[in-house]
Chains A and B, each alone.
Chain A
Amino acid sequence: RKEVEQDPGPFNVPEGATVAFNCTYSNSASQSFFWYRQDCRKEPKLLMSVYSSGNEDGRFTAQLNRASQYISLLIRDSKLSDSATYLCVGSYSSASKIIFGSGTRLSIRP
């Protein structure tokens, strides 16, 4: 079983829609979680950190549920520029290890 698992998609939604991604992790020793975004032929870049209390950054909301070992990302009012692959990430600081999920591909159509 992969340490971080997410639905690969692809998700194809119209502009303005709300879309949600989910991710589960198997190692409860994971200490920090992030969502990254990767555009085609580019490196992954941090989208946002994920906290148990939930956090919001503009149209993006991330949530962590440690009891269920579950992470989510919600994108509201999606834009064409949101089209990318979204990667769920768990960090194990004691092991100097950052593990990526397989990524969920999102396409926003006009």
Chain B
Amino acid sequence: DTAVSQTPKYLVTQMGNDKSIKCEQNLGHDTMYWYKQDSKKFLKIMFSYNNKELIINETVPNRFSPKSPDKAHLNLHINSLELGDSAVYFCASTHTGAEAFFGQGTRLTVV
């Protein structure tokens, strides 16, 4: 039974398109995150939500819009995709201050 699940696992799309990635956690955690891992493998925090409220937006272009309909879900919508958006996007969840559990990642390729 997957604790943090995100879909899709792979996403190939053309420049200029709009796409969404979904994330759900069944751990009862209060905080959820989106991370971007680029080709150099650096895992960079993008957003964090605590109890559906946006806590952190780490200088991410406003083409990226997270949405948390409830505590168990944090989706990521990306408008007008650019080549530089190609990366692996990881969703994670945690109880505040405890370790984070990650989804399997979404490998986004913009062509």
Chain A residues with a Cβ under 8 A of chain B: 31-32, 34, 42-46, 49, 85, 87, 89, 91, 93, 95-100, 102-103
Query: A31 near B97 (CB under 8 angstroms)?
Result: yes
Chain B residues with a Cβ under 8 A of chain A: 31, 33, 35, 40-45, 48-50, 55-56, 90, 92, 94, 96-105
Rounded to whole angstroms, the CA-CA distance of A85 and B94 in the bound complex is: 21
Task: Give the total number of A-B pairs whose CB atoms are below 8 A apart.
Answer: 58
Query: B104 near A98 (CB under 8 angstroms)?
Result: no
Query: A97 near B56 (CB under 8 angstroms)?
Result: yes
* Main SS class of interface, A: strand
Interchain CB contact (< 8 A) of A93 among B41, B56, B97, B102: B97
Q: Provide the residues of chain B in CB contact with A44, threshold 8 Å.
A: 43, 90, 102
Interchain CB contact (< 8 A) of A98 among B40, B41, B100, B105: B100
* Minimum CB distance partner of B54 in chain A: A96
